[in-house]
Structure 1
Amino acid sequence: MWNFLARNKQVGAMLGLLSVAAVLAIILTTKGGSHAEENNGVEEPEDISPATHVFSTYSLPSNDKFMPSIGNGHIATNIFSDTVYMNGLYNGRAGYSHRARIPAWANIRLNSTLTHHPYSPVYSLDTKEGVFKVRVDRERSVVTQRIYAHRFYTRAIVNQISVDSKTHYDPNFLYQELWIAIKLMPGEESKDIAFEDPIPEIIDGRTVWSSCGQTMESEDLTYQPLPVDVCAFWTSVPDHLVVPQRGSRVFTFAMTADKNKTIARQELIKVLQEDGEELFQKHVEHWQQLYQQGGVDIEGNLELGKIVNGIWYYFLSSLPSESSFQPLDKYYGLSPTGLARGGTFEDYEGHNFWDTETWMYPSILLLYPQYANKLLQYRLDMAYVAAELAKLTGHKGYRFPWESAYTGVEVTQPCCPDVAIYEQHISGCISFAVRQYLAMTRDEEWLKHGGCDIVTNIADFWASRAVINYNTGLYDISNVMGPDEDHRNVTNSVFTNVVAGYSLYLAQYVSCLCKSYYMAKDPDHWADIAWSLALPYDEEHNYHPQFSGYHRGDKIKQADAILLGFPLQYAMNTSTRTNDLNYYESVTRENGPAMTWSMHTIGHLKLDDHRKANAIFNKSYEGFVREPFKVWTELRRPDVGAANFFTGMGGFLQALIFGYAGISIHMDRLEIDKPRLPPDATKFIIRGIKYLGANLTLELQANSTKLSVTSLDDNWRLLLNDGKYNITLAPGVTVILPGTGPFTIRSEQWKDCKLPSDIIGQNYLRPIGT
């Protein structure tokens, strides 16, 4: 993926939990009365909450890009933004396709948060309730605003303003009512959707407005001959809310949006019929069901604990709900800045890249395999377009575009044609994601409904890309670009060739799994090509050059060859992996994207260099996480690039889960090797690991590692080997894991099919070893 610089080159919630004394203590201990910290000359508000799941502040970021988002996988917005985005709603032809802007008829502001005011608001994001809160302690009342994208009523963004009058009031006060000034700020008309003039109607005594329209321009006339319809409904918003002086009241306002007018209207009616508190509690219950399924908990290091909770909150905000009032629309993937962003050039326009499968997907798969399935389903849905792209470029099988959106065609900006032409490794990354999915789930139904087809067709693409070199006797793949986008149109990109080889081997394996219902063409031919693919290796320096002809010392943009060690887990000598890590660390430019150093962290942890791993781990997030709402930026402070950068978040999660926790996914086992605590943590828990239908929890403390079993799938009997004994796992069992491992969890072989060999280039060009 190419960052913004490269492209241009071509405390409401917290206060509810704390006592007044505790809040006063926080205020009094804040240095100099200021609630901002200085970072390279840029002030950022402080997060004042002591809770790992709540981010609270007295002032909002000066840069709107650092504002948090709310979302439910169908609809999303940044807090106090004038823009709402919807899953699968794009506007613009081909490379100009971007998320289509819906005016934010849900953007309601308290006047006390817009101007200088004697009352100091507290702003809070509660990641476990999925809600943003504003609390204003006024002279005669406490006003709390809750803003959330409802997790069950998925077409709705809800604003609730509660006004609670104080019991101690001045009896001589002239007015007997409380007036709370508010303002609806939807922004200008959309340039992406031709909305009709809003139409009012009365529903259950309330004035409701609606407007429908169509996107201005189709992404591709072949696959999208007609524009997309969209309708929005929203409640009328007065200038003031009025409450009796001694009373209290909750006011509920809502906006709904959908491609279907009837669905949007029915959803709004249902939301308005709900009791205000019951409406909110229903939303919270659905959020908490997600948190109960899995999570990563860190104790002892509050900063890391908060960052992790923020990542899962933002991920889940962009993933679809598991149950909803209305049937869910088709899901259109997880883009580098999530569903709440993507209307602009610098936020990658809501497109799907390799970022999804390589950076975000692995951690999601481990805890939420149902969402991994949906991410793969997006690729399956677009496979017929990938087949056409392969044909257009003179190849067989499926070639997936570097960027895709609504139709699945290539939508990379015209500014940068090279990435669209050469960065073909995305097809191999999709196949590698399938490999991980099958290893974790053994989902045969998925294979039957497209999985066999996508694996074998990606292999056909790579088989048609590989050309025999009669001088070496090996197959070359030329005219490509690896993850390092500073070098383009190269031959035998080491990363590309390995993911291509893995794709070919996986097709041979899957052809065995699918043989009773899917006929593959000569599956051994794929393995023969994989075995004979060239793999660049420098014997003198005992390392992997990025590609054939790479000049040692050339600077690179980001992690590339070191990805062989992880996530690809390609077998090599320890000395080779050490040299790969040390060399590429020295030539990676400092202004690269956030995720690079997470892979270096995992590499050094695997090599038992804990001191260096900890130092690089700090480098993987420091300067990329912006306070107070833990919004990630693509580039290190003071640069920004894309925000909120899910790709960097995904790398960070992998450093924790696959690095410090030592978990690794293999076709025949789940492995835990050399688990250890992250820096300054006293406890590290990964809840809800889903392996072959089992629900497992891994808990690390300074002197102990425990694996607990919540449930098992009756179809798969699991054995844990602790290095000495085989232990049959059963629900309720907790096993103390001695030493550092490796510990393996296995089931019986699947369908008596031989596992992929995964040996690339016959190892002529590198030393053999593990």
Structure 2
Amino acid sequence: MWYFLKRNKQVAAMLGVLGIAAVVVIILSTRTAHRLAADNASDETEDFSDDPYIFSTHKLPSDDRFMPSIGNGHIATNIFSDTIYMNGLYNGRKGESHRARIPSWANIRLNSTLTHMPYRPVYSLDTREAAFKVRVDRDRSIVTQRIYAHRFYTRAIVNQIQVVAKPHDPNFIHHEIWIAIKQISGPSSEDIEFRTPVPEIYDGRTIWSSCGSTKDPEDPSYQPLPVDVCAYWTSVPDYLVVPQHGSKVFTFVMTVDKNKTIARQEFIEVLQQDGEELYKKHVDHWKSLYHQAGVHIEGNLHLSKIVNGIWYYYLSSLPSQHTYHPPEKYYGLSPTGLARGGSLLDDYEGHNFWDTEFWMFPSILLLYPRYAHDLLQYRLDMAYVAAELAKITGNKGYRFPWESAYTGTEVTQPCCPEVAEFEQHITGCISYAARQYLATTRDEEWLKQGGCSIVTHIADFWASRAVINFNTGLYDIESVMGPDEDHSNVTNSAFTNVVAGYSLYLAQYVACLCKSYYMAKDPDHWADIAWSLALPYDETLDYHPQFSGYERGEQIKQADVVLLGFPLQYPMNMSTRVNDLSYYESVTRSSGPAMTWSMHTIGHLRLQDDKKANDMFNKSYQGYVREPFKVWSELQRPNVGAVNFFTGMGGFLQTLIFGYAGVSIHLDRLEINTPQLPPNTTNFKIRGIKYLGANLTLSISETSSTLVVESLDDEWPLTMNDGKYNITLVPGMSVTLSGSGPFKIHSTSWKECKLPEDTIGHNYLRPNKL
């Protein structure tokens, strides 16, 4: 992803042309100054709840970017925002494409007289029930507002306000209880041509509807027509009235869909529900989701809340599994989720980057493989566009764009053409995600429905990018940019060449898996190229230069070469891994994103340097999580960057699952190596690990680690090797993991296909591999 500080170079370039005054105007008009402003003490408020799933405060953040979001994978919004976004709804041509803004007719607020002195409201994000709540204890009543995106009725955002009268002196005359409220839908949408709202009466209530179309299709070649969208919402009065002795729940609803009939049907269905039953159905579906898996931490409330917040935000942007109407096609998981995406500077316009496959995907895959399938399906759906991009850039196979949205075309902003041109490693990262998916699922149906094709066509792309160097006898990949976006148009980026090599090897393996129904031409040719790809290595200093010609001492933006150690798990000498980590830590700029330090954490854990790992772990989140609602920023305080930054969350989850828990995914096995507790915790559990249809729970305490086999898939019997013995796993079994491991869980081989060599740059000797 081309993070904000990369773009500042564009601003700097303007100084000489426009003059300082003009640039100041540009900066202010684009909110750049706001993004980089230091946080005041009042920007973050205290979370006083002692429940690990509930974040509560008496005072909302002064910076509304740190407000939490609600969502269900179809629609999402930030709390008290006048904007709603919908899955797959974008507006703007190519480089201007962004999520299309829908006015939030669901934005209902209690009157300020209720939320200021003398009352002291409690604002809570309940991640267990997936609802934002406002509770005001008044003289004569208790008012509770619940706001949620329904998990079953996924076209609906629901506002419920409950007013409960307090007992009072019967001899004292009271009047009715009046609660002032206000609907704040904001200005008209600049993205959608909504027609004038139409009122009607339904069951004694006034309801409104409006339909419209996006203004600018993303790419006329792939989207000849704009996209339609329709909204229904209930009328909102100025006051709610409750008898002096009574109580009542008022329900307000807004539904949104591309299909008017679906929007209306779901709206009417929700209106007919009893208020409490409607809420219970929402909560039950969330409970079902949490029942499938979870990451639990004890002994460190703050850390536990951060983890629970991450999964809440992730699942809020992923599609519901059981819905009233069938879900629409899913358009991917962007770096700030579904609740954001309207602007370039704050949220990357809702586009898909390598962030999805490389940073978010691995943890989602291990606990919620169905969602991992949905994320890969987005890439499969866009493969025909990737084929065209490869063709027009003079290559073969599939080349996926750096930024992708509705059509799958390149939608990177015009400001940064070098990123779209050179940062081609995203194509290899998609293949690496497919590799992990196949390793943990052996999903034959996915292979048949396009998996064979996407893997082999990605290999064709890299084969066409590799050019033989007759001086070295190795293949070079020129004109690329690695994750470090401070260096562009380089040759033999170490990271890029390894993900390219893995892509080539994977295609050889998949060609064997698919040979009964998919023909691949000369699959060994892919492996021959991978074997002979150049991999920069300095034998004297025993480390990997970032690319050919890298000058030692040059500052870099973020983790790049260290990603070879993890997530790529490329085999190397222990001394090389130590040197890579030490050197690149010294030249990585402090303003980089959180994922850098997450990967350094895992690196040091794998080297059994626990003290250094703990230091890096603390660095990976402490400067990025904003209170009270555990919203992540892209950049460390005092800077902000993109909000709510799913990419940083993904790196952090990997430190827990693949770092401290010691889990690692390989094509032929799942390993657990040296499981240990994260800093300042007493118990750590990963529940619902999915491997080849099995459901496993890994529990780690101060004295022991255990693996519980919750269930197994009959098709794939599992055996665990503890270094001495092979243990046949059976449902209900609890295995104590004695020692550091590795504990290798494996099944029978898959179709007797030979595993790939996975060696890049055959001249690079590794006598003492990690």
Fold agreement, TM-score > 0.5: yes
Deviations 1:472-509 (A, max 9, x none): 00000000000000000000000000000000000000
Counterparts of 1:138-537 in structure 2, within 5 Å, are 138-169=138-169, 171-173=171-173, 175-346=174-345, 347-537=347-537
Letter in 2 for 1:48: F
Deviations 1:233-270 (A, max 9, x none): 00000000000011000000000000000000001000
Shift of the 397–89 alpha-carbon distance from structure 1 to 2, 3 Å rule, reads same
How many Å apart are 1:721 and its aligned residue? 1.3
Secondary structure of 1:365 counterpart: helix
CA distance in structure 2 between the partners assigned to 1:259 and 1:192 by the alignment:
15
CA distance in structure 2 between the partners assigned to 1:411 and 1:171 by the alignment:
69
Deviations 1:433-482 (A, max 9, x none): 00000000000000000000000000000000000000000000000000
Deviations 1:256-296 (A, max 9, x none): 00000000000100000000000000000000111000010
Deviations 1:349-374 (A, max 9, x none): 00000000000000000000000000
Deviations 1:62-98 (A, max 9, x none): 0010000000000000000000000000000001000
1:698 aligns with 2:698: yes
Aligned pairs, how many? 742
CA distance in structure 2 between the partners assigned to 1:340 and 1:240 by the alignment:
29
Q: What is residue 14 of structure 2 aligned with on the other side?
A: none
Deviations 1:692-732 (A, max 9, x none): 00000000000100000111111000001122221111111
Paired residues of 1:42 and 1:638 also in contact (CA < 8 A): no
Secondary structure of 1:620 counterpart: helix
CA distance in structure 1 between the partners assigned to 2:336 and 2:114 by the alignment:
27
CA distance in structure 2 between the partners assigned to 1:171 and 1:265 by the alignment:
48
Paired residues of 1:537 and 1:765 also in contact (CA < 8 A): no
Shift of the 7–114 alpha-carbon distance from structure 1 to 2, 3 Å rule, reads farther
Counterparts of 1:477-626 in structure 2, within 5 Å, are 477-626=477-626
Paired residues of 1:536 and 1:765 also in contact (CA < 8 A): no
Q: What is residue 132 of structure 2 aligned with on the other side?
A: 132
How many Å apart are 1:42 and its aligned residue? 5.3
Q: What is residue 89 of structure 1 aligned with on the other side?
A: 89
Counterparts of 1:627-642 in structure 2, within 5 Å, are 627-642=627-642
How many Å apart are 1:203 and its aligned residue? 1.4
Letter in 1 for 2:416: C
CA distance in structure 2 between the partners assigned to 1:221 and 1:114 by the alignment:
50
Deviations 1:628-661 (A, max 9, x none): 0000000001110000000000000000100000
Shift of the 577–590 alpha-carbon distance from structure 1 to 2, 3 Å rule, reads same
Paired residues of 2:191 and 2:215 also in contact (CA < 8 A): yes
CA distance in structure 1 between the partners assigned to 2:613 and 2:42 by the alignment:
28
CA distance in structure 2 between the partners assigned to 1:171 and 1:628 by the alignment:
44
Letter in 2 for 1:209: W
Secondary structure of 1:575 counterpart: helix
Paired residues of 2:319 and 2:330 also in contact (CA < 8 A): yes
Paired residues of 1:113 and 1:121 also in contact (CA < 8 A): no
CA distance in structure 2 between the partners assigned to 1:616 and 1:538 by the alignment:
26
CA distance in structure 2 between the partners assigned to 1:170 and 1:561 by the alignment:
75
CA distance in structure 2 between the partners assigned to 1:39 and 1:193 by the alignment:
34
CA distance in structure 2 between the partners assigned to 1:732 and 1:762 by the alignment:
45
1:726 aligns with 2:726: yes
Identity within the alignment, %: 76
Which range is displaced more, 715-724 or 292-301?
715-724
Shift of the 495–113 alpha-carbon distance from structure 1 to 2, 3 Å rule, reads farther
How many Å apart are 1:116 and its aligned residue? 3.5
CA distance in structure 2 between the partners assigned to 1:321 and 1:521 by the alignment:
39
CA distance in structure 2 between the partners assigned to 1:652 and 1:721 by the alignment:
29
1:712 aligns with 2:712: yes
How many Å apart are 1:9 and its aligned residue? 2.5
How many Å apart are 1:43 and its aligned residue? 4.3
Q: What is residue 670 of structure 1 aligned with on the other side?
A: 670
CA distance in structure 1 between the partners assigned to 2:293 and 2:742 by the alignment:
23
How many Å apart are 1:168 and its aligned residue? 2.8
How many Å apart are 1:768 and its aligned residue? 6.2
How many Å apart are 1:339 and its aligned residue? 0.0
Shift of the 171–544 alpha-carbon distance from structure 1 to 2, 3 Å rule, reads farther
Q: What stretches of structure 1 of length at least 5 have no aligned partner?
A: 11-37
Q: What is residue 103 of structure 1 aligned with on the other side?
A: 103
How many Å apart are 1:226 and its aligned residue? 0.2
Secondary structure of 1:200 counterpart: strand
Letter in 2 for 1:430: I
Secondary structure of 1:419 counterpart: helix
Deviations 1:159-189 (A, max 9, x none): 000000001357434x421000000000000
Shift of the 322–169 alpha-carbon distance from structure 1 to 2, 3 Å rule, reads farther
CA distance in structure 2 between the partners assigned to 1:681 and 1:554 by the alignment:
38
CA distance in structure 2 between the partners assigned to 1:702 and 1:44 by the alignment:
34
Paired residues of 1:112 and 1:119 also in contact (CA < 8 A): no
Secondary structure of 1:231 counterpart: strand
CA distance in structure 2 between the partners assigned to 1:766 and 1:718 by the alignment:
31
CA distance in structure 2 between the partners assigned to 1:169 and 1:104 by the alignment:
41
CA distance in structure 2 between the partners assigned to 1:600 and 1:560 by the alignment:
11
Which range is displaced more, 733-742 or 150-159?
733-742
Paired residues of 1:153 and 1:267 also in contact (CA < 8 A): yes
Shift of the 735–192 alpha-carbon distance from structure 1 to 2, 3 Å rule, reads same
Q: What is residue 15 of structure 2 aligned with on the other side?
A: none
CA distance in structure 2 between the partners assigned to 1:89 and 1:189 by the alignment:
16
Letter in 2 for 1:53: Y
Letter in 2 for 1:253: F
Deviations 1:598-656 (A, max 9, x none): 00000000000000000110000011000000000000011100000000000000001
Which range is displaced more, 718-727 or 312-321?
718-727
Q: What is residue 34 of structure 1 aligned with on the other side?
A: none
Secondary structure of 1:197 counterpart: coil
How many Å apart are 1:401 and its aligned residue? 0.1
Secondary structure of 2:621 counterpart: coil
CA distance in structure 1 between the partners assigned to 2:472 and 2:479 by the alignment:
18
CA distance in structure 2 between the partners assigned to 1:763 and 1:205 by the alignment:
79
CA distance in structure 2 between the partners assigned to 1:699 and 1:39 by the alignment:
38
How many Å apart are 1:763 and its aligned residue? 3.6
Secondary structure of 1:211 counterpart: strand
Letter in 2 for 1:130: A
How many Å apart are 1:40 and its aligned residue? 7.0
Paired residues of 1:595 and 1:620 also in contact (CA < 8 A): yes
Secondary structure of 1:403 counterpart: coil
How many Å apart are 1:764 and its aligned residue? 3.2
CA RMSD of aligned residues (A): 1.2
What's the TM-score once normalised by structure 2's chain length? 0.95
Paired residues of 2:39 and 2:639 also in contact (CA < 8 A): no
Paired residues of 1:692 and 1:713 also in contact (CA < 8 A): yes
Deviations 1:314-350 (A, max 9, x none): 0000000001000110000000000000101121000
Shift of the 114–528 alpha-carbon distance from structure 1 to 2, 3 Å rule, reads farther
Paired residues of 1:40 and 1:637 also in contact (CA < 8 A): no
